[in-house]
Structure 1
Amino acid sequence: MTILVTGSAGFIGFHTARRLLKAGRRVVGFDVVNAYYDPALKEARLDQLKAYPGFTEVRRDLADRAALDAAFAEHKPRAVIHLAAQAGVRYSVENPGAYVDSNLVGFANLLECCRAAEVAHLVYASTSSVYGANTAQPFAETQGVGHQMSLYAATKRANEVMAHAYAHLFNLPTTGLRFFTVYGPWGRPDMALFKFTKAMLAEQPIEVFNHGRMARDFTYIDDIVDGVLRVLDHIPTPDPDWDPANPRPDTSGIAPFRVYNIGRGAPVALNDFIEVLEKTLGMKAQRRLLDMQPGDVPSTHADISALSHDTGYQPQTSVEEGVPNFVHWYRQFHRI
């Protein structure tokens, strides 16, 4: 069957599309290729995908409903993996309009197209940022998530709520994935590992927020893609044990709806993460210690037991393996 992957020029979208293509699946990649970060990196990812005969590129904006309608009409996808979004907690403080257009209008358009086409399954990206002000860790999908701390997180939580409404009203199977700090080769330049590596190789200081008192559930890209594809084949159904008098937020008794955490399940202190990078590069980082950024949180830790139970998901890659893999790619890509 044909699978529509939105955000195919992005970090996770590229890796997901490539894995599908390697498995012989037909992939339609839908991406506007904007300039949020270096478009040359996005073009290089797309060049990799275009080498596969099963790949078709559609370079349009999700906010353009007519373009999305045309793509569905022409390619007739039977499943959708929605990974396109305006990303970034900090950027959402400065440019809220971009998040409304991409994450709200774009997602609403996609839901309408999936409904009309009666797709078998919509898998979409959410984020660990929806946990917001919650401090009880590890974060579990059964926790309430009503206190987001950035507009980015708020738009992603809105996507989950919108997905449930469509699952209920139109019997559209939807699964949301709350990603936890994804890193690896072909990663985003606005993420910590990319920024740290670039700065250190240029012998410049790295910016360490909250004076280094941070921890993240760093998750390697190959593990993320494995989880995404396991979920794609695990189509949700209404939960027979769901209690409307005490409703769980991650399942539904009235809709084919599910939300999962997808991370490694083992947070790493930021200073330890930097030490792995220092060892890999063979140099010490000059650390510029800064206060916490608006909208950020000091720690994330994913409870991945539900995803593991339902799909067999088991992340394999530690930061001691994943960070060197990224550095090897970075040196090759930038010819360093």
Structure 2
Amino acid sequence: MLSQSAILVTGAAGFIGAAVAEALMAKGTPVIGIDNMNDYYAVSLKEARRDRLAARFGNLFTFHQLDFSDMDRLTATLEPCRFEVIVHLGAQAGVRYSLENPQAYVTSNLAGHVNMLELARARQVAHMVYASSSSVYGGNAKLPFAVEDRADHPVSLYAATKKADELMSETYAHLFRIPLTGLRFFTVYGPWGRPDMALWKFAERILSGRPIEVYNQGEMYRDFTYIDDIVGGVLACIDRPPADDGQEKAGGSIKPHSLYNIGNHRSEHLMRLIEVLEEACGVRAELQLLPMQPGDVEATYADITALTSDTGYTPSTPIEVGVPRFVDWYRGYVRTL
């Protein structure tokens, strides 16, 4: 790894954050995790992820329940902590929820991101890797989405905040020469995933004999990316801070700021995902076909050329493998509730 000193991981009780923290500590790297443990979805799931990390890794894991949008508390809590790298994965997630509670996105994704940039500046960190989203591409018709494509027509507030995070990061890379890497995540799924995501909702309803809601009459395509592939890409980026050499980086910056798509490089028809899920559950789904939802897009598809070229990133998990793994985990998790 780039550093064997501690790495600060935000959103450490979240889906991707907990998985990244686990992988770091499995390599012997201490992790300082922060998470505000909000109730956007069941806090019990976040607690279970956190407790699992604490039980497995003991003193390698330090956790603080903390909202990074509160700069005073962020600074005071982390003052005694030493770290050289930040992996900023905490955010208010979800496209549809941004229609209901826009202020949550302003607080976490705008003010909170600036706070993390300020923390990186004050600590003069060696690298900050942060979460962006495929949603920044909006309704782009060109597929696959490439980091060189324009991304200035977001169709949801969530997408707009993630694009704003990229722009603010570019400014900090320019003014303060902080090495920054933004990752545009594409539909991540797998064990310990989020209950607001389609795969969890579908599995829950199929296994309880209820109809599943299928938007746009099923004519949706997503670049479903398995969590282990995502984690491999994040760790590869940690080790490769962009150089301050005036050369153009992925995403077009000549500052020490790179932008990458991180996906599976396969756009799956939603109905195919449902077929695979039915096979894994051993139950046929009852479909409730609905129109497209506001803020949603018909298709996502990641061009991962830049990430593969720079880091060797090679996702290897098709939905035919990943979905049954999720279902196996989900059955076991539900039995523990």
Tell me, in whole angstroms, the C-alpha distance in 2 between the residues paired with 1:266 and 1:48: 32
Give the structure 2 partner of residue 172 of structure 1: 178
Whether the 8 Å contact between 1:239 and 1:251 is mirrored in structure 2 is no
| Structure 2 match to 1:188 | 194
Structure 1: tracts of 5 or more residues without a match: 243-247
Partner secondary structure for residue 46 of structure 1: helix
Residue type at the aligned position of 1:131: Y
Give yes or no for contact 1:209–1:292 (8 Å, CA) kept in 2.
Answer: yes
| Residue matched to 2:126 | 120
* Whole-Å separation in 1 of the counterparts to 2:253 and 2:323: 38
2:39 to 23, 35, 38: 35
In 2, distance between residues paired with 1:40 and 1:95? 22
Distance (whole Å) between structure 1 residues aligned to residue 52 and residue 25 of structure 2: 11
Q: 1:241 deviation in Å?
A: 4.6
> Of 8, 12, 29, which residue of structure 2 is paired with 1:8?
12
Aligned to 2:154: 148
| Aligned partners of 1:90 and 1:294 also within 8 Å | yes
Answer whether contact 1:143 1:249 (CA < 8 A) is retained: no
CA deviation profile, 1:147-195 (whole Å, cap 9, x unmatched): 0000000000000000010011011000000000000000000001100
Contact 1:72 1:113 in 2 (8 A): no
- Separation in 1, partners of 2:124, 2:182: 18
Instruction: Give the secondary-structure state (helix, strand or coil) at the position aligned to 1:260.
Output: strand
Instruction: Tell me the residue number matched to 1:58.
Output: 64
Give the alignment partner of residue 21 of structure 1, picking from 15, 20, 25.
Answer: 25
Letter in 2 for 1:48: R
User: Which shows bigger deviation, 72-81 or 221-230?
Assistant: 72-81
Question: Contact between 1:121 and 1:172, CA under 8 Å: does it hold in 2?
Answer: yes
Question: Normalising by structure 2, what TM-score?
Answer: 0.96
From 141, 161, 170, the counterpart of 2:167: 161
Deviation at 1:31, TM superposition (A): 0.3
Deviation of the 1:71 alpha carbon: 3.5
- Report the Cα offset of residue 133 of structure 1: 2.1
The answer for the alignment partner of 2:297 in structure 1 is 297
How many Å apart are 1:134 and its aligned residue?
Answer: 1.0
Q: 1:103: which partner in 2?
A: 109
Q: Which residue number corresponds to residue 266 of structure 2?
A: 266
Q: Which runs of at least 4 in structure 1 moved beyond 2 Å after TM superposition?
A: 238-242
SS of the residue aligned with 2:259?
A: strand
Give the Cα–Cα distance (whole angstroms) in 2 for the partners of residues 194 and 127 of structure 1: 20
Q: Aligned-pair RMSD on alpha carbons?
A: 1.2
TM-score (norm 1): 0.96
Give ranges in structure 2 of 5+ residues lacking alignment: none
Offset, 1:251: 3.0
* SS of equivalent residue, structure 2 residue 79: helix
Distance 1:288 1:110 in 2: 42
For 2:237 and 2:247, the matched residues in 1 are separated by 21
Question: 2:251 matched to which residue of 1?
Answer: 250
Give distance in 2, aligned partners of 1:170 and 1:257.
11
Aligned to 1:287: 287
Equivalent position SS for 2:19: helix
SS in 1 for 2:33: strand
Q: CA deviation at 1:252?
A: 1.8
Structure 2: distance between partners of 1:71 and 1:305 = 39
Identity %: 55
Contact kept, 8 Å, 1:200 with 1:285, in 2: the verdict is yes
**For the residues of structure 1 that align with 2:42 and 2:334, how far apart are their CA atoms?**
13
Code of the aligned partner of 1:21: M
User: Structure 1's 315 and 238: CA in aligned 2 closer, same or farther, altered over 3 A?
Assistant: same
Amino acid at match of 1:168: H
- Tell me the SS of whatever aligns to 1:156: helix
